């Protein structure tokens, strides 16, 4: 019997606001422990929450980008959650009236465009961070109160590849919107996966297991693939899947049980009494006009005839994508530009340091470089030499001139060298007649020596073959 996985994803996205969700304390990632807090964050008596307007604006932006229905009357709820990482003993969230609902999101899996249904998007506050040291637990409240958006999908994914591609695409989306830095390694974007299996063709879902706090795109795919195989092994051996929460162990590349769920946790939700319903102002509900990543990939494919792979590579680097737009405004050599950007430039981006792309390599210099290659002014080997100077800020035209790199493409000049080599080495013609291809390479090599490397290698090769055919 063949089984398929049924997967749903919950993403917690920290927002890039200046202050916290319900207090005026600054966001404190990387700050000394317990320094980016105020009395609201640690729930001192008499304190009251105040909603962060910028966080609401960011929530509306993402809701619009995901095609969600937006509830313009904001209401918050209390989720009673008696853990040490929530000093109030509850979390302010949106259980009953999420900001966004019934949306959908398109993303690429390789070159195939897929779509996932978005169940809900709601706002809440993050918890404090705990550090366990033996029998001691230390708590840093800097993260407590950080604005969060939780995005919950329907169980529309069937493979780890699809799930990983979705998370990567949504991470890029929040970066494009400017609402989060999307740093999974820093916890700015965290992912929980719910997975079950069922026989192919069956409608009913199987028993669900949750894998918590996946912190990289690759780990999402690995965890899902491991869980699917684990589920299949348990079921086919006559066992039963246990409803539980698991984590992914990077060392063993396996999921590990954290706790079982014998019954649903009763969080005793009720309306947050300290935040009255708030009508979202019209100024925050203006239509989203920004071009989003998937649309940009489609445009690059259609307008510049780029492959979906190349378009995706470009779009995933916002600065490189913007630089590409400037270059193609002055040049039609789209494919050549993309090849150098996505291969050679990306390989040395660390040399840019804190400069912008335009400060590092002037767009006009890059265009001069591309034109020199396209016009066969320089060979591919010479292009590598010019590129080394280009990333140091030098003008390609000056480098080519000063180094005497200009290729010789004049047919009369090339043919004079070719005939000279053949006249001096008549045995080459016999070798060619006998099918020895090395005869061509010999003549081309001799011409390159005579020209001090400046002969156009492509034209030289063509002319050599033509002349040898004539002399057969």
Q: Is the pLDDT of residue 97 over 90?
A: yes
Q: How far apart are CA 304 and CA 79, in angstroms?
A: 50
Taking residues 95-107, report their average pLDDT.
Answer: 98
pLDDT at 346 over 70: yes
Query: Strand 147-153 to strand 136-140: parallel, antiparallel, or no bridges (unpaired)?
Result: unpaired
Whether 182 contacts 174, CB under 8 Å: yes
Which helix (H) or strand (E) element contains residue 148?
strand 147-153
Query: What is residue 247's predicted lDDT score, i.e. its pLDDT?
Result: 95
Model confidence at 262: pLDDT above 70: no
Chain segment 296-311, per-residue pLDDT in tens: 999 999 999 999 999 9
Mean pLDDT of 104-109: 97
Q: Please name the residue that has the structure tokens 């050549």.
A: 336
Residues near 318 by beta carbon (within 8 Å), at least 6 away in sequence: 175, 176
13, containing H or E segment: strand 3-14
The answer to which of 7-21, 206-220, 289-303, 395-409 has the lowest mean pLDDT is: 395-409
Distance separating alpha carbons of residues 286 and 455, to the nearest angstrom: 60
* Angle, CA 276 vertex, CA 67 and CA 23 arms, to 5°: 85
pLDDT of residue 397: 94
Q: What is the pLDDT of residue 434?
A: 82
* 303/448: higher pLDDT: 303
Residue 435: its pLDDT value, please?
82
352-386 pLDDT per residue, tens:
999 999 999 999 999 999 999 998 888 888 899 99
Residue 7: Cβ within 10 Å count: 27
| CA Rg value for the chain | 31
Q: Name every residue whose Cβ is closer than 8 Å to that of residue 151 and which is 6 or more positions away in sequence.
A: 10, 11, 13, 62, 66, 118, 120, 121, 170
Q: What is the predicted pLDDT for the residue at 30? A: 86
Confidence of residue 25 (pLDDT cuts 50, 70, 90): very high
Taking the C-alpha atoms of residue 333 and residue 339, their distance in angstroms, rounded to an integer, is 10
- Beta strand residue intervals within 223-358, DSSP E: 244-249, 254-260, 270-271, 278-279
pLDDT at residue 446, as a whole number: 93
Average pLDDT for 333-341: 96
pLDDT at position 302 is 96
Percent of the chain with pLDDT over 90: 80
- Residue 426, pLDDT score: 87
For 79-98, letters b (16+ CB in 10 Å) and e give bebeeebbbbebbbbbbebb
Distances 89 to 10, 148, 171, 192 between C-alpha atoms, Å: 23, 18, 30, 23
Segment 6-19, tens digit of pLDDT: 999 999 999 999 99
Give 44-106 as a DSSP string: -TT------HHHHHHHHHHHHHTT-EE-SEE--EEEE---TT-TTSEEEE-SSS-SEEEEEEE
Per-residue pLDDT for 411 more than 80?
yes
Is 70 exceeded by the pLDDT of residue 407? yes
CA atoms in the 13 A half-sphere facing the CB of 431: 14
- CA–CA dist 162, 158 (Å, integer): 7
The CA angle 10-13-14, to the nearest 5 degrees, is 150
Q: Which of 252, 243, 184 is nearest to 222 (CA)?
A: 252
Task: Say what the pTM is.
Answer: 0.86
Residue 169: in which H helix or E strand, if any?
Answer: helix 160-177
b/e per residue, 309-333, with b = 16+ CB within 10 A?
ebbbbbbbbeebbebbeebbeebeb
Rounded-to-integer distance, Cα 176 and Cα 258, Å: 35
- In terms of Cα–Cα distance, which of 297, 326, 325 is closest to 311? 297
CATH fold for the domain made of 411-471: Arc Repressor Mutant, subunit A (1.10.10)
Could you tell me if 194 and 209 are in contact, meaning their C-beta atoms sit under 8 angstroms apart? yes
Calpha distance 56→12 (Å, rounded): 15
Judged by DSSP in three states, 430 sits in helix
Write the Ramachandran bin of 125: left for phi over 0, alpha for psi from -120 to 50, otherwise beta: beta
CA distance 232 to 244: 16
3-state secondary structure of 1: coil
pLDDT band at 436 (very low <50, low <70, confident <90, very high): confident
pLDDT score at 52: 97
pLDDT of residue 454: 81
Task: Please say whether the beta carbons of 348 and 361 come within 8 A.
Answer: no
pLDDT tens across 146-172, in order?
999 999 999 999 999 999 999 999 999
Is residue 184 classed as helix, strand or coil in its secondary structure? helix
Six token digits for residue 206: 């199987």
Q: How many CB atoms lie within 10 A of CB 223?
A: 28
Q: Where in the chain is the domain with CATH 1.10.10.410?
A: 411-471
Residue 263: per-residue pLDDT: 65
| 269, 77 Cβ separation under 8 angstroms | yes
Q: Which of 268, 19, 13, 250 lies closest to 149, judged by CA?
A: 13
């Amino acid at each position: 019997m063949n089984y398929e996985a049924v997967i749903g994803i919950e993403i917690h996205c920290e927002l890039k606001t200046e202050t916290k969700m319900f207090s005026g304390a600054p966001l404190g990632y990387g700050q000394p422990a317990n320094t980016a807090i105020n009395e609201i964050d640690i729930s001192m008596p008499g304190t009251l929450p105040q909603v962060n307007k910028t966080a609401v604006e960011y929530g509306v932006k993402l809701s619009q980008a995901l095609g969600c229905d937006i509830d313009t009357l904001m209401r918050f709820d209390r989720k009673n959650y008696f853990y040490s990482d929530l000093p109030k003993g509850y979390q302010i969230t949106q259980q009953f009236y999420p900001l966004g609902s019934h949306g959908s999101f398109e993303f690429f899996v390789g070159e195939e465009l897929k779509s996932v249904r978005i169940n809900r998007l709601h706002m809440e506050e993050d918890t404090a961070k705990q550090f366990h040291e033996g029998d001691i637990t230390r708590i840093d409240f800097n993260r407590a109160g950080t604005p969060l958006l939780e995005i919950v999908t329907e169980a529309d994914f069937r493979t780890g590849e699809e799930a990983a591609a979705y998370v990567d695409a949504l991470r890029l989306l929040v970066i494009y919107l400017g609402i989060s830095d999307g740093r999974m390694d820093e916890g700015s974007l965290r992912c929980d996966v719910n997975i079950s299996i069922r026989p192919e063709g069956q409608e009913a879902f199987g028993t669900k297991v949750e894998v918590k706090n996946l912190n990289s795109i690759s780990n999402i795919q690995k965890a899902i693939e491991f869980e699917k195989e684990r589920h299949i092994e348990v079921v086919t051996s006559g066992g039963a899947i246990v409803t539980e929460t698991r984590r992914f162990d990077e060392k063993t590349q396996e999921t590990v049980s954290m706790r079982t769920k014998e019954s649903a946790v009763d969080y005793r939700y009720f309306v947050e009494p300290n935040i009255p319903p708030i009508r979202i102002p019209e100024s925050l509900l203006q239509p989203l006009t920004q071009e989003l990543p998937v649309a940009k990939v489609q445009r690059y494919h259609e307008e510049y005839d780029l492959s979906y792979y190349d378009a995706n590579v470009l779009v995933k680097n916002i600065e490189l994508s913007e630089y590409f737009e400037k270059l193609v405004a002055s040049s039609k050599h789209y494919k050549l530009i993309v090849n150098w950007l996505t291969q050679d430039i990306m390989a040395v981006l660390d040399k840019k340091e804190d400069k912008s792309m335009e400060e590092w390599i002037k767009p006009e210099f890059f265009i001069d470089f591309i034109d020199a290659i396209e016009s066969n002014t320089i060979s591919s080997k010479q292009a590598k030499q010019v590129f080394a100077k280009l990333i140091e800020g030098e003008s390609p035209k000056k480098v080519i001139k000063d180094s005497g790199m200009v290729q010789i493409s004049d047919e009369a000049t090339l043919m004079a060298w070719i005939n000279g080599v053949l006249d001096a080495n008549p045995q080459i013609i016999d070798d060619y007649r006998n099918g020895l291809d090395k005869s061509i390479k010999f003549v081309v090599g001799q011409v390159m020596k005579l020209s001090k490397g400046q002969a156009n290698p492509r034209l030289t090769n063509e002319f050599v073959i033509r002349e040898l055919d004539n002399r057969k």
